[in-house]
């Protein structure tokens, strides 16, 4: 089984969305996990906008990357600009991929304006995940 770890700063939005989309598009072809340099809790706006597209991430848990220390992954994907010193070394020869997305949790404005930023990022993450899975080679 191909194992993928998606890393972000807080494991509250972007990495959670990516985990949801990768699971959705790849089905049982991969085992996907997400974590952050620190666990900040699942952002409810991320849950809301993913529900809008039919993907339920409400049962996801925000986890620290330390949970996965020493485990083998085939891919480690970073979705924010965390520095490489924050990313642990994983056993084996994990392929690394970086794609930075804006952190929607930092959006200002009204509740609707914040939701709109979450939707924009969700759609960018969806396109990224869809392309990754379509180009996926074991």
Residue positions annotated with a catalytic role? 8, 80, 87
Give CA separation, 8 vs 22, 53, 81, 119, 138, in Å. Answer: 15, 22, 8, 18, 24
Neighbours of 99 (CB within 10 A): 16
HSE on the CB side for 24, CA within 13 Å?
20
Confirm if 115 and 45 have CB atoms less than 8 A apart.
Answer: yes
Confirm if 32 and 59 have CB atoms less than 8 A apart.
Answer: no
Give which of 72, 84, 77 is closest to 19, Cα–Cα.
77
């Amino acid at each position: 089984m191909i194992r993928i770890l998606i890393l972000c700063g807080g494991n509250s939005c972007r990495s959670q969305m990516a985990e949801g989309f990768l699971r959705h598009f790849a089905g049982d072809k991969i085992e996907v996990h997400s974590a952050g340099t620190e666990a900040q809790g699942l952002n409810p706006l991320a849950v809301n906008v993913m529900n809008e597209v039919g993907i339920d991430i409400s049962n996801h848990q925000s986890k620290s990357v330390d949970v996965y220390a020493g485990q083998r992954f085939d891919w480690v994907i970073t979705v924010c600009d965390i520095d490489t010193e924050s990313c642990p070394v994983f056993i084996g020869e994990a392929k690394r991929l970086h794609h930075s997305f804006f952190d929607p949790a930092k959006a200002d404005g009204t509740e609707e304006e914040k939701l709109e930023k979450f939707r924009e990022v969700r759609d960018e993450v969806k396109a990224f995940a869809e392309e990754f899975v379509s180009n996926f080679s074991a």
